[in-house]
């Protein structure tokens, strides 16, 4: 018999934090963050990390798991989440997976298998060097030579994904497009080890963008620039997964004296809006999402939770 799992996904500023806490209190649940950046210690403001007082005594997991210089992979993330899932089930509680990082959510929801070997940092560094010296197109051509399907689906400017695909081919001898096709078929057949209920929070796009802009202004007031400068002053590489996060990478040019603070803030707003757009696209392509229009419900968390409870299995 499959175990129950609740997923609350939604773009930035859609109200996931408050909603998930109230739902957990109502049904006896515990929360696992599925955000790929809230795992890093000290990255609090930029990731909109839940504050201790906001948790309202509901246990939260996958928060502050590793230092910011730890290069966490999705496979490592999934392994740690599975440990917490087992612990929550052992207590007779219901895990509530909360976040917006689609790749990480799918890895857990559909038990995606990662045929990973030890990371070959030498190879990765060589690929990064090609991208810097010869340009992203040259790197993309290397991918096209071994995995044409991935080359068609991955834009040449998405250097991180191009490198990931090349690393996968080197480690396994198999194109990552074949692996992804198998996993996509698994998802389309709804082959999940869990009896899951997937809630997708949504709202009018114009309203979402307005809320994103306001949230970023609030983050700046709360000290986001100072938070990022702390990591910059530590000398953390911009190539670390943590420092590539939206909310952090945008300010490095400011600290280097290359751009004004105002232009970096505007870039952050633009990148966040674009990311939210990609998140909304991801929701539409998932299996059996239950869309909840939080704007229509007045952004009122108790009302949103009532709507969720109506849709939970009896």
Residue pLDDT, tens place only, 222-252: 999 999 999 999 999 988 989 999 999 999 9
Mean pLDDT, residues 17-40: 96
Residue 157: band (very low, low, confident or very high) from pLDDT cuts 50, 70, 90 = confident
Q: Is 114 helix (H, G, I), strand (E, B) or coil?
A: coil
CB atoms within 10 A of CB 232: 16
Mean pLDDT, residues 35-49: 95
> In this model, does residue 116 exceed pLDDT 60?
no
Residues of the chain with pLDDT > 70, as a percent, come to 95
Which are the contacts of 147, defined by CB distance < 8 A and separation ≥ 6?
165, 169, 175, 176, 177
CB atoms within 10 A of CB 281: 10
pTM of the model: 0.80
CA-nearest of 142, 87, 85, 77 to 114 is 77
> In this model, does residue 117 exceed pLDDT 70?
no
Mean pLDDT, rounded, of the chain: 91
Name, of 3-12, 23-32, 66-75, 146-155, the range with top average pLDDT: 23-32
Which pLDDT score is estimated for 288? 78
> In this model, does residue 180 exceed pLDDT 80?
no
Which are the contacts of 81, defined by CB distance < 8 A and separation ≥ 6?
32, 34, 61, 62, 108
């Amino acid at each position: 018999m499959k175990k129950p799992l609740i997923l609350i996904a939604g773009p930035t500023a859609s109200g996931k934090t408050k909603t998930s806490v109230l739902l957990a209190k109502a049904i006896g649940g515990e929360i696992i963050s599925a955000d790929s950046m809230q795992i890093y210690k000290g990255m609090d403001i930029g990731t909109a990390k839940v504050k201790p007082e906001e948790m309202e005594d509901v246990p939260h997991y996958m928060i502050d798991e590793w230092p910011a210089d730890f290069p966490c992979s999705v496979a490592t993330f999934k392994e740690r989440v599975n440990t917490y899932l087992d612990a929550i089930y052992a207590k007779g509680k219901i895990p509530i997976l909360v976040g917006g990082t689609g790749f990480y959510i799918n890895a857990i929801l559909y038990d995606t298998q990662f045929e990973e070997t030890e990371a070959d940092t030498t190879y990765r560094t060589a690929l990064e060097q090609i991208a810097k010296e010869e340009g992203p197109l040259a790197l993309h051509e290397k991918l096209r030579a071994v995995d044409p399907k991935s080359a068609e689906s991955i834009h040449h400017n998405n250097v991180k994904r191009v490198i990931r695909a090349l690393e996968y081919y080197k480690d396994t001898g198999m194109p990552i497009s074949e692996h992804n096709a198998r996993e996509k078929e698994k998802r389309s057949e709804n082959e999940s080890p869990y009896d899951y209920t997937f809630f997708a929070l949504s709202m009018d796009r114009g309203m979402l963008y307005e809320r994103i802009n306001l949230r970023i202004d609030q983050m700046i007031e709360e000290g986001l620039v100072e938070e990022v400068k702390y990591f910059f002053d530590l000398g953390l590489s911009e190539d670390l997964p943590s420092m590539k996060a939206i909310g952090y990478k945008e300010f490095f040019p400011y600290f280097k004296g290359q751009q004004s603070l105002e232009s970096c803030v505007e870039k952050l707003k633009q990148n966040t809006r674009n990311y939210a757009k990609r998140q909304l696209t991801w929701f539409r392509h998932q299996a059996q999402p239950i869309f909840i229009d939080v704007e229509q419900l007045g952004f009122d968390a108790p009302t949103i939770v009532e709507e969720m409870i109506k849709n939970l299995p009896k």
